[in-house]
């Protein structure tokens, strides 16, 4: 997977420390003042997505510690499959199973401790508050991850509609001019990103590196910057960034403004970085 990380020099956000290069550079080439080629830990993978082996699960990850500077990894989904247990079968209240994926593979062998923050999927938002508290405790105890909760009705418009029926197709040149008629989905997208921002704010401590992932969380850097002006924020987009002509069909300017609040913005290819630069110019 070839990538690029671009420093946001157009705002007053702080320059991240050198350790950002060591962590983020494993995903491709780092662009600071000049492009810098970095080596992969293994053979580079072609295409937009990593192909994972069945053994590439969170069981191989280093557990988080409370000593060194951490990375806060924030993605839409935690790498856990969640379901409610069946007490008639002697199952626990919550059944959690590790899952695999490209981000899981990329974080294997990470040199810094990290805490993963994300959503557990549909069904968690309808749980009573006390059940959510118990589920949060189980996830933290068994995986050292932090779950984010929001109502299922918000989750549907945030994930199914705005993220996957509106944003994803535009970024892949499949649909255009489809945003203006769906203010409900846009409101849900904002609400979900704010829920993520609240949890990140609770976990953040000075010195942490906050690493946000993918198109479902485009508003998160902006919300975090509002509350934490000196926070070091990276954002990596796991899908293409479209040409400026296509991107401008999205009426919500807040998305671009939020991405520009990150210290670093990462892409799979230099072409996508050029599109981002043209869109923000």
Q: Is 261 helix (H, G, I), strand (E, B) or coil?
A: coil
Is 181 inside a domain boundary? yes
- Judge whether 47 lies within some domain: no
Report which DSSP code applies to 253. T
Range of the domain at 199: 4-39+62-252+260-280
User: With 0-12 CB in 10 A as exposed, 13-18 as middle and 19+ as buried, what is 251?
Assistant: exposed
The pLDDT of 65-94, averaged and rounded, is 81
Q: CATH code at 274?
A: 3.40.50.2000
CB 157 within 8 A of CB 186: no
pLDDT tens for 243-273 read 999 998 888 889 999 999 999 999 999 999 9
> What does each C-alpha distance from 136 to 66, 103, 128, 130, 199 come to in angstroms?
18, 22, 12, 10, 12
Q: Tell me if 170 is assigned to some domain.
A: yes
Residue 203 maps to a domain: yes
Is 57 within a domain? no
3-state secondary structure of 157: helix
Write down the pTM of the prediction. 0.77
Residue 56 lies in a domain: no
Instruction: Tokens for 251, please give them.
Output: 């009426």
**Cβ neighbours of 62 (radius 10 Å):** 14
- Determine phi and psi for 100, rounding to 5 degrees: -115, 170
The 8-class DSSP code of residue 236 comes to: E
Structurally, the chain folds into a number of domains equal to: 1
Asked if residue 44 is part of any domain, the answer here is no
Tell me, letter by letter, the H, E, C secondary structure of 264-278: EEEECCHHHHHHHHH
- Does residue 45 fall inside a structural domain? no
pLDDT tens digit string along 3-56?
Answer: 344 444 444 555 544 444 433 443 333 333 233 232 323 333 333 322 222 334
Q: What is the pLDDT of residue 202?
A: 96
pLDDT at 273: 93
Distance, CA of 24 to CA of 30 (rounded, Å): 8
Tokens 């609040």 belong to which residue?
Answer: 261
């Amino acid at each position: 997977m070839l990538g690029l990380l671009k420093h946001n020099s157009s705002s007053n956000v702080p320059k991240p420390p050198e350790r950002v290069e060591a962590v983020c550079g494993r995903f491709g080439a780092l662009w600071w003042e000049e492009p810098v080629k970095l080596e992969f830990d293994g053979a580079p993978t072609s295409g937009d997505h990593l192909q994972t082996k069945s053994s590439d699960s969170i069981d191989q990850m280093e557990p988080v510690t409370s000593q060194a500077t951490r990375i806060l990894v924030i993605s839409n989904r935690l790498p856990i499959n969640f379901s409610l247990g069946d007490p008639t079968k002697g199952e626990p209240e919550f059944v959690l199973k590790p899952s695999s994926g490209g981000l899981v593979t990329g974080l294997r062998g990470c040199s810094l401790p990290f805490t993963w923050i994300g959503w557990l999927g549909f069904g968690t938002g309808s749980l009573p508050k006390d059940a959510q508290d118990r589920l949060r405790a189980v996830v933290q105890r068994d995986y050292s991850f932090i779950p984010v909760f929001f109502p299922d009705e918000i989750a549907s418009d945030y994930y199914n509609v705005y993220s996957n029926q509106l944003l994803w197709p535009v970024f892949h040149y499949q649909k255009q001019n489809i945003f203006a008629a769906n203010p409900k989905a846009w409101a849900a997208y904002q609400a979900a990103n704010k829920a993520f921002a609240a949890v990140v704010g609770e976990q953040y401590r000075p010195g942490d590196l906050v690493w946000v992932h993918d198109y479902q969380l485009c508003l998160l850097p902006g919300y975090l910057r509002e509350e934490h002006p000196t926070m070091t924020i990276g954002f990596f987009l796991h899908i293409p960034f479209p040409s400026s002509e296509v991107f401008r069909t999205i009426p919500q300017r807040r998305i671009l403004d939020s991405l520009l609040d990150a210290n670093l913005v990462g892409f799979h290819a230099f072409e996508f970085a050029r599109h981002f630069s043209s869109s923000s110019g």
